[in-house]
Amino acid sequence: MVDVWSGWTELVAIKNKASKWVREAIEKVKGRLPFELRGIDSDTGAEFINHPLRDWCEKHQIKFTRGRSSRSNDNCYVEQKNYSIVRQNVGYFRYDTEEEVYYLNRLYAYLRLYANFFQPVMKMTEKKRIGSKVQKKHDDIKTPYQRLLESSYVSEAQRRLTRLYKALDLFHLRQKITACQRKLFSLQKKKNVKNKNLEETVWNF
């Protein structure tokens, strides 16, 4: 989940796309956001477009909207982070065991801190076409944390964010990220060897 204004990013791995797990993941994110969750704009997948999630949003007075079908660019903010944060750190392997999901969430817990407090992003402020060229203008590069400190809408959370930032050690944070990555790749390697041996056994049979 990505906040459009600040770029604040939250990451959660779930067992599958059942609405139950999606709703629980959103509740988890809602509880740790440094600002109030007022709206959700999802893609058109059935994991989001369902009655339980709609009812949950209505109960918590959260506005729910969705992108257009077959228009992935409607969710460009999330798609961008899917590559720069998710794929760049976990690759394209399939993580589907309970142990893998556990370590994936541990990795995500560290990645969200790294991305939100230490990874600066640019925001486009203007875009115009001049002939065949598109001219873009961006504001100053800032981390999502820095953008939130400048906002008048999250003043209650600014002290808490500052305390958390001062308590973070970038070196140790990177060490924990690397340790989780190695564990995930190790689990993936073992699973691939097991599957390969299983295939050979079935073939020999």
Residue 14 in domain: no
- The residue segments making up the domain with residue 68 are 19-204
Residue 10 in domain: no
Any idea what the CATH number is for the domain that residue 158 is in? 3.30.420
Q: Is the pLDDT of residue 202 over 50?
A: no
Provide the pLDDT confidence category of residue 173 given band limits of 50, 70 and 90: very high
Global pTM? 0.86
Q: Is the pLDDT of residue 156 over 50?
A: yes
Q: Is the pLDDT of residue 105 over 60?
A: yes
* Phi, psi at 151, each rounded to 5°: -85, 145
Residue 78 in domain: yes
Residue 80 in domain: yes
Cβ-based neighbours of 193, under 8 Å, separated by 6 or more: none
Question: pLDDT tens digits, residue range 66-93?
Answer: 888 877 777 888 888 989 999 999 988 8
Q: What is the pLDDT of residue 40?
A: 94
Q: What is the pLDDT of residue 203?
A: 44
First-to-last C-alpha distance (Å) of the chain: 47
Residue 131 in domain: yes
Residue 4 in domain: no
Q: Choose between 197 and 143: higher pLDDT.
A: 143
Give CA–CA dist 152/133, Å, rounded.
36
Q: Is the pLDDT of residue 1 over 90?
A: yes
With a pLDDT cut of 70, the percent of the chain lying above it is 94
Beta bridge pairs of residue 124: 138
Spatial contact of 43 and 49, defined as CB atoms under 8 Å apart: no
Residue 108 in domain: yes
SS3 48: coil
Residue 6 in domain: no
Query: In the chain, how many domains are there?
Result: 1
Q: Which of 7-11, 92-96, 106-110 has the lowest mean pLDDT?
A: 92-96
Q: What is the pLDDT of residue 193?
A: 75
